[in-house]
Amino acid sequence: MKITIEGASPEFERKLLDLLAEHRRELTVAVDTEWNADRAARYLRTLPSSARSFLEEVVKGKGYADAAALRDLFGSLRGPTIALSRAIPRGVKAGWWPEGIAAPVQAVYDPANPSWQRAIGYSMDKAVLSVFIDALWDVFGNGPGDPRAHMDPEQLAEVMIREDAEALRREEEREARPGHPPAIRWADTDDVPSALDILDGEDQ
């Protein structure tokens, strides 16, 4: 028997995992350890600002940020990286995601110098990157790329209406300036802009 449960509360998920643990010898259990929109949003909300900014730099770099550049921005990376790491077990304890989920940001070490354990960069898997790009827009209203790509149809329609109204307002202000020529208008039967709008006041 295979059962798929979606939309469960953290409390329900915790109780279900406890129940499965009791019967683990009888069952084959596959736990979803992938990042999704809800988990990413919860993760971001738990982070202090420095750790969230650190993660955003990795996202802005399309899944990679050079450690030297990050040190220029943050100084010591110990604080942000510890906060990123500690958020994982805290979320497991709260029931926000299962044990075994991978940290979204991973340290990258120099393969040519394995004994030197100082990170040369920080990376994010492509699938995880896509989830966190959406989460940054959804939770904080900012992120890389075009925000319209992260809007539902109603939100997009509202934005377009506001932009059209703003464009009309700017055009009306422009035409109201002293000495500014009026915008070219079209008569109902014209195939070209009305000549009067172009030649008004000129000798013909």
Structural domain includes residue 106: yes
Task: Tell me, yes or no, whether 59 and 82 share the same domain.
Answer: yes
Task: Tell me, yes or no, whether 44 and 139 share the same domain.
Answer: yes
98-134 core/surface letters (b: 16 or more CB in 10 A; e: else): beebeebbebeeeeeeeeeeebebbbbeeebbebbbb
Task: Tell me, yes or no, whether 108 and 142 share the same domain.
Answer: yes
Instruction: Give the end of a domain, one of 125, 146, 167.
Output: 146
Task: Tell me, yes or no, whether 90 and 170 share the same domain.
Answer: no
Q: And the tokens for 108?
A: 């990258």
Task: Tell me, yes or no, whether 133 and 167 share the same domain.
Answer: no
Task: Tell me, yes or no, whether 99 and 166 share the same domain.
Answer: no
Structural domain includes residue 101: yes
Task: Tell me, yes or no, whether 128 and 108 share the same domain.
Answer: yes
Task: Tell me, yes or no, whether 135 and 155 share the same domain.
Answer: no
Structural domain includes residue 81: yes
pLDDT in tens, 119-174: 999 999 999 999 999 899 888 877 666 666 656 667 667 767 877 888 888 778 87
pLDDT in tens, 50-75: 999 999 999 999 999 999 999 999 99
Q: And the tokens for 103?
A: 């940290």
Residue 35 zone, left/alpha/beta (φ > 0; ψ -120 to 50; rest): beta
Residue 177 in this model has a pLDDT that exceeds 80: no
Domain range spanning residue 41?
34-146
Query: Smallest Cα–Cα separation from 67: which of 98, 39, 37, 106?
Result: 106
Structural domain includes residue 172: yes
Task: Tell me, yes or no, whether 125 and 159 share the same domain.
Answer: no
Alpha carbons 184 and 182: distance in angstroms, whole number: 6
Structural domain includes residue 5: no
Task: Tell me, yes or no, whether 159 and 107 share the same domain.
Answer: no
Task: Tell me, yes or no, whether 79 and 141 share the same domain.
Answer: yes
Structural domain includes residue 1: no
Structural domain includes residue 163: yes
Structural domain includes residue 23: no
More confident residue, 36 or 5: 36
Instruction: Give the chain's mean pLDDT.
Output: 80
**What's the total number of domains in the chain?**
2
Task: Tell me, yes or no, whether 47 and 126 share the same domain.
Answer: yes
